[in-house]
Chains A and B, each alone.
Chain A
Amino acid sequence: MARARNRIAGIISVFGELLITAGLVLGLFVVYSLWWTNVLADRAAGKDADQVRDRWAGGPGALDTRDGIGFLHVPAMGDGEILVKKGTEPDILNNGVAGYYTDPIKSALPQDKQGNFTLAAHRDGHGAKFHNIHKLKNGDSIVFESRDTWFVYKVYKSLPETTKYNVNVLQPVPKESGRTKPGRYITLTTCTPMYTSDYRYIVWGELERTEKVDRDRTPPAELR
Chain B
Amino acid sequence: MYGWIWRHLPGNAWVRGVISLVLVLAVVYALFQYVFPWAEPLLPFNDVTVDA
Contacts and interface: CB of A to CB of B under 8 A. Distances in A.
Given A29-B39, A33-B40, A90-B41, A197 B48 contact: yes
B44 A200 contact: no
A123 B44 CA distance: 13
Contacts of B26: none
A56 B52 CA distance: 37
Interface stretch (A46-54, A149-157, A163-171): A163-171
Give the size range of A's interface with the partner: 35 or more
B45 A104 contact: no
A104 B52 contact: yes
Interface in B1-52: 1-3, 28, 31-32, 36, 39-41, 44-52
B46 A169 contact: no
Given A29-B36, A36-B32, A123 B48 contact: yes
A74 interface: no
9 contacts: A17-B1, A33-B46, A88-B49, A125-B46, A191-B46, A196-B45, A197-B44, A197-B45, A200-B50
Interface of B: 1-3, 28, 31-32, 36, 39-41, 44-52
Interface in A1-46: 13-14, 17-18, 25, 28-29, 32-33, 36-37
A167 B39 contact: no
A167 B46 contact: no
Contact of B47 (A18, A103, A197): A197
A186 B52 CA distance: 20
B48 A189 contact: yes
B48 A130 contact: yes
A101 interface: yes
B50 A165 contact: yes
B1 A18 contact: yes
Contact of B51 (A123, A164, A195): A164
A120 interface: yes
A34 to B, nearest CB: 10
A144 to B, nearest CB: 19
B31 A28 contact: yes
Nearest to A200: B50
Nearest to A121: B48
Contacts of A108: none
A122 interface: yes
B51 A191 contact: no
